[in-house]
Structure 1
Amino acid sequence: MPARVLLIRHSYGEIVSRLGKRHNRRWPPLSLLICASWLEKEGLTVTVIDREIETFSDEAIFKLAETHDLIFLSSSDVDRWQCPNLDYDSFIRFASGFKNKGNLYLTGAHGTFYPEPFLKMTGAKGVIREEPEWTVKEIACGRPLDEITGLTYREDDRIHANPDRPPGSLDLLPAPAFHKTDLKQYYYELMGDRFTILEGSRGCSFKCTFCSLTMYGKGVRAKSSEKLIGEILAAKEAGARNIYFIDLEFTINKKLARDTCDFLIKNPMGLRWACQTRTDLVDEPLLQQMKRAGCVLIHYGVESGSQRILDSVDKRLKLEKIEEGFSLTRKAGIETTAFFMAGLPGETAEEREQTLAFAKKLNPTYASFHVANPYPSTKLGERFDTGEIFPEFCGRSEDDKNELKRFARRAFLAYYLRLGYILNHVAAGNPALWRRQARLFLSYL
């Protein structure tokens, strides 16, 4: 069995601008930290390098890799499983630089979507498809490769694709090895530093046509309340004071959400936390409970201000319900982030303007405007499959693509430069909020 294992999370730099400016998050590599914890429990020596915070050169990492028996390189950790970076060229260049490629395995969404191309482009030994923790453990513990599900690998100049791995119980995963990193170096611009992510569940029961769920497996798997609370305590002990629950829909399991809130209310630790969910999965009592438990921010995917477009992408949500959810969240005293997309199939210029108008009407604390991407394994991706790896946009001409980019930028500026928006936040008298919004705005320009 290998004795020394190197786990690496690749960094794409501070800003990705292929489809307009977008911040790469300086969030901990939660999945790799879970892998590290599991491997240490098996008696292995584990090194974790997160290139989002480490300053090692490529050459230094390649040299370090030569002293390890196995290397696992992640192209996207759990916070990017749903929406991976489309600019993967730097990942290919970095992965191709390892000399001992026979010990190199890739994890993340990129290889999951395109296992054979990524094997060929990088020269790696194998690609771990979908969630990596169980497969990483089995490889590191010396199980024969042909017996490991969820793995595509090369052997004798041939590429072998093993069957998919059935989703595992999240309660079986160990707590993240927070001691392998420094939470003081992680940051979420909408919350602050000493930051980490946690997850109470994986997967989603909704079927939006634009949303990629391949990494999560089918359905929703939730941790027990005891398991999640234990990980919250571990994060607090490691120095966290801001936590984002990375679940696709945190409140889809009401019992888990309420149990978590009850614990945090009864055991105040000074933690601030945020989550993502849908407006039809919250109600006034739950939101009030979340606020008392320390929730300061909720992310909502709105997508469009056109009911016709929402119906066409199978969002299964009415505009009125979205308005109600934002109103109740505001009433509870919780900040909101709303995500909007331009360029969904069949969308007209008039409907894009409806989206901007709806954003102003909802008046979230933060608003994000992006261009829709046809991710692989989604109905949107199947509709616009060109054979290209991670194609841009949805079958549009160059003029249309440029127009969508211009709209996203114009919508951003039009939203944040409203006099009423500025005056409302000045009147709120929250200097910390002003600073966060100013940093976010200036970084976009």
Structure 2
Amino acid sequence: MTDVLLAKSPVKDPVADTHPWASPPLIPLYAASVLREKGYKTSFIDFNVAGGFKRKRLERILEKEKPRVVGVFTGTEEYLNALDITKYIKGKNSEIKTFLSGPHPTAMYNEVLKQPTVDFCVRGEGEYAILELVDAINNKSTSEYTEIKGVALKKNGDLISNPPNPPQKNTELPYPSRDLAPMKFYDFPGIVRTAWGGCPNNCSFCNVPTYRGRDYFARDPIDILKEIERLLFSYQHIRVIKFMDDTFSIDKDKLYELTDGLKKISPPFGWKWTFTTRVDKLTKKMAKEVSEAGCSTILVGAESGSQRILDSINKGIQKNEILEAVKKVINEGMDINVTFMYPLPEDTAETIKETINFMKKLKDLGANLILDFTTPYPGTPLYENSEELGIKILADSWEEYDAKHLLITSRYLDEKNLKKHFKKLVSEVGLNKMI
């Protein structure tokens, strides 16, 4: 019998066997560790891998585990599948308490809690809020629900959202419970966090501040190194460690302490690591240090090749900084992936042409280009201020919020013209992407 069953909702097709590019979802695995430390028997299932979401599979799990609480972690794209899971659970046993957590329930808790099969939303990174919620459910103390920071709930027909839960510092969280996850099924199992909290930047397309806030706490490098050693020696099929935080390089002193330690890790096989950073944080010294410490690839966000567009989305970078970042990384023998978004609210035919020319220049330098459709996630200025920005959201379903569909118009270009310019961009730059 299990006290708590935590689940990761599947993207798109709820009967898919696996999801390409899948990685262990660390947030529910951290939550599992916090619950287990308190003595709660906790299970975890990731419906993106190892069989996908099949109702018979969920039925077997419910019969075997008999959980009292089920929490489903979900973004926007997979939100409808998360609801399907809660509907099935409540249909089998209405006494089971359910909660949703993740970026979508954080931003859209008012809508989510209108669903009769969802009892609570845990907003933000709520590892300890989840623990408090499970404590309250276990104690059958409904009065405690309104005291738990980060929890939203229904009470006497009203929706109540408690004050937000502050992000946790690294010393307060145990390592994620990777032993509960099907590690052998992930394409990229070696995911590690280097910080808690959110991002201090103001990019208008990003939902990280809504979900995690703007406070940032860098983890102790020694603690990170211990976790990496544990990962590499426990799961010897892992050959790449990926640091998942966009804020990886903010604290350079801790970064260099980490790279010094990475040089000393020596499992009986070769391994590399990758990270994401901002171009305005990437110095020549940093490129040299991370390369010498075994970094193989750096990912940076360019988003547009027009300075006017970069300014309009509050990106806070200059075009020349993107060029210089690419040169620094290539000169140190590493790969660099550069992301772009299409379209952005102020895009015109001219700014798209600028972006095409800029992408070609980066490609000539040796950069790998990644192009995604701009996705107006709930909680972002793009979603909340779409009318003011002059854009139209084209999505008919939450499932389309996957960066693979044209989801917005720009202020100056309608859907038809954007599709025309997109085909030109793909053709001229030489990208393998269709619309």
SS in 1 for 2:266: coil
Q: SS in structure 2 opposite 1:266?
A: coil
TM-fit CA distance, 1:157: 3.7
1:202-229 alpha-carbon deviations (Å, 9 max, x no partner):
3222212222221111222211112222
Match of 1:404 among 396, 418, 425: 418
- Is contact 2:73–2:101 with CA below 8 Å preserved after alignment? yes
* Secondary structure, aligned partner of 2:190: strand
C-alpha distance 223-93 of structure 1, shift in aligned 2 (>3 A): same
- Please give the per-residue CA displacement for 1:145-203, whole angstroms capped at 9, x wherever unaligned: 22211001123443322111122213211101111123222114xxxxxx221111232
Counterpart for residue 108 of structure 2:
114
* Equivalent position of 1:422 in the other structure: none
Superposition CA RMSD, Å: 2.8
In structure 2, how many angstroms separate the alpha carbons of the residues matched to 1:14 and 1:233? 35
* Alpha-carbon distance in structure 2 between the residues aligned to 1:416 and 1:231: 40
What is residue 210 of structure 1 aligned with on the other side? 205
Answer yes or no: is 1:251 the counterpart of 2:246: no
Match of 2:379 in 1: 377
| TM-score, length basis structure 2 | 0.83
Shift of residue 405 of structure 1?
4.6
Corresponding residue SS for 1:338: strand
Residue pair 1:302, 1:339 contacting (<8 A) in 2 also: yes
Aligned to 2:329: 329
Identical amino acids, percent of aligned pairs: 27
2:118 maps to what in 1?
124
Contact 1:369 1:408 in 2 (8 A): no
What is the identity, as a one-letter code, of the residue corresponding to 2:229?
L
Corresponding residue SS for 1:106: strand
Q: Cα 1:166–1:54, aligned 2, differ >3 Å: closer, same or farther?
A: same
Equivalent residues in 2 for 1:122-161 (5 A)? Answer: 123-142=117-136, 144-161=144-161
TM-score (norm 1): 0.82
Q: State the match for 1:10 in structure 2.
A: 9
CA 1:356–1:398: 2 relative to 1, 3 Å: closer
1:317 maps to 2:317: yes
Secondary structure class of the residue paired with 1:214: helix
Opposite residue 8 of structure 2, the aligned amino acid is R
For residues 413 and 352 of structure 2, what CA distance do their matches in structure 1 show? 16
Tell me what 1:298 maps to. Answer: 298
Q: Superposition pairs for residues 128-207 of structure 1, below 5 Å?
A: 128-142=122-136, 144-188=144-188, 195-201=189-195, 202-207=197-202
Q: Are the structure 2 counterparts of residues 283 and 151 from structure 1 closer, same or farther at C-alpha, using a change threshold of 3 Å?
A: same
* 2:265 corresponds to: 267
Match of 2:42 among 43, 46, 51: 46
- AA partner of residue 259 (structure 2): C
The answer for unaligned runs of 5 or more in structure 2 is none
How far apart in 1 are the matches of 2:3 and 2:34? Answer: 13
Distance 2:411 2:86 in 1: 33
Rounded Cα–Cα distance in structure 2 between residues aligned with 1:14 and 1:280 = 38
Deviations 1:73-114 (A, max 9, x none): 0113xxxxxxx53x6333333332222455111011111111
Q: Which amino acid letter does the alignment assign opposite residue 318 of structure 1?
A: Q
Q: What letter matches 2:265 in structure 1?
A: N
**Greater alpha carbon shift after TM alignment, 39-48 vs 109-118:** 39-48
Task: Give the distance between the partners of 1:92 and 1:3, measured in 2 at CA.
Answer: 21
What one-letter code is carried by the residue in structure 1 that aligns with 2:89? Answer: F
SS in 1 for 2:257: helix
Contact 1:186 1:196 in 2 (8 A): no
Deviation at 1:119, TM superposition (A): 1.8
Aligned residues: 399
Aligned-partner SS, 1:187: coil
Moved more, 240-249 or 91-100: 91-100
Aligned residues of 2:409 and 2:415 also touching (Cα < 8 A): no
C-alpha distance in 2, partners of 1:156/1:171?
Answer: 38
Matched to 1:307, the amino acid is Q
3-state SS of the aligned residue for 1:153? Answer: strand
Structure 2 counterpart of 1:69: 68
Report the Cα offset of residue 60 of structure 1: 2.7
Mean Cα deviation higher: 141-150 or 241-250:
141-150
Is contact 1:95–1:122 with CA below 8 Å preserved after alignment?
no
Deviation at 1:116, TM superposition (A): 2.0
Which residue identity does 2:306 align to in structure 1? Answer: S
Task: Give CA deviations for 1:320-360 in whole Å, capped at 9, x if unaligned.
Answer: 11100100001111111111112212211121121122111
Distance in structure 2 (CA, Å) of the matches to 1:357 and 1:397: 22
2:232 matches 1:236: yes
Matched ranges for 1:379-394 at <5 A: 379-384=381-386, 393-394=407-408
**Which residue number corresponds to residue 93 of structure 1?**
84
Q: Which runs of 5+ in 1 are unaligned?
A: 16-22, 77-83, 189-194, 418-440
